[in-house]
Amino acid sequence: MITVIGYALLGGVLSLVGGLLLVWRSKDILPRITPLIGFAAGAFLSVSFFELLPEAIELNGEVHDVVPYFMLGFTLFFILERGIMRYFGSHRSNNANHHEHTESLPALIIIGDSTHNFIDGFIIAISYLANPAVGLATTLAVVAHEIPQEIGDFAVLLDRGWNKWRIIWVNILSSLLTVVGAIVGYYAGVSLEEYLPYLLAGVAGIFTYIATVDLLPEVNDRAGHEFKVGVILAFILGLVIVSYLISFTHTA
């Protein structure tokens, strides 16, 4: 049990490294934030379509059983965002611009990332129970694809005006859910393992919603009618880097 918690802490803490470096240099980063938001969108989509959905389909064996849970995650976050904007937004006029529309984005990112961290911890525990060596390899795989995603998360929160310490503490608390997921996986893994494909598909739907409904429209709004090569390259890098790390850790 102690080893499982250690692996989960390792995965959670190391995944924050890239984001912490970004926060440390925030004064230099903020003027160039638009490409980083594009990078975040690419990272979220890559995790969804190269990691979570394929894993869910592989575990379940049937695409048609998994896709409805992908759509459920997507739809639930649409409903959640409308609720946040209705009851916790600033209630600006109907002429509010897109930047004001994304006031709910930090909450969505934190909820989505926290759910993902919990599932990562659950997977680490399940892998360790199957084989301790596989558990360590799974932890390293989690760290590999979480680092670039966390960089995107931190960039968006910085852009929303959050101060450094608030970002750091919120992300530390979110990362600790990896430990919670590991404990749940260790004690209840066998009985809950059958639900794992549906949880993975749901989180894929959540990340796809954040990328396509909030992040990419935000990039388009900021870029306007200009064809900004840097923004496009940042989005592609988010896709490529995360997908490469995922494929590398799966074949290592």
Rounded average pLDDT over 58-76: 90
Q: Is residue 29 part of a domain?
A: no
Mean pLDDT of 217-246: 85
Host domain of residue 150 = 2-19+34-251
Q: What percent of the chain has pLDDT over 70?
A: 83
In a domain, 67, yes or no: yes
Would you say the C-alpha torsion 73, 129, 13, 141 has a positive or negative sign? negative
The verdict on residue 28 lying in a domain is no
Domain-embedded: residue 102: yes
Gap between the Cα atoms of 35 and 13, Å rounded: 25
Confidence of residue 46 (pLDDT cuts 50, 70, 90): confident
Whether residue 25 is contained in a domain is answered as no
Provide the pLDDT confidence category of residue 249 given band limits of 50, 70 and 90.
low
Whether the pLDDT of residue 92 is over 50: the answer is no
- State the total domains in the chain: 1
- Residue 82 pLDDT: 82
Cβ atoms of residues 153 and 40 within 8 Å: yes
Nearest to 56 by CA among 182, 175, 208: 208
pLDDT at 236: 94
Do the domain assignments include residue 202? yes
Residue 242, token pair as written in the block: 């995360």
Is 245 among the domain residues? yes
Within-domain flag for 27: no
- C-alpha separations of 198 from 11, 47, 52, 59, 236 in Å: 22, 16, 10, 10, 28
Mean predicted confidence (pLDDT) in 142-150: 71
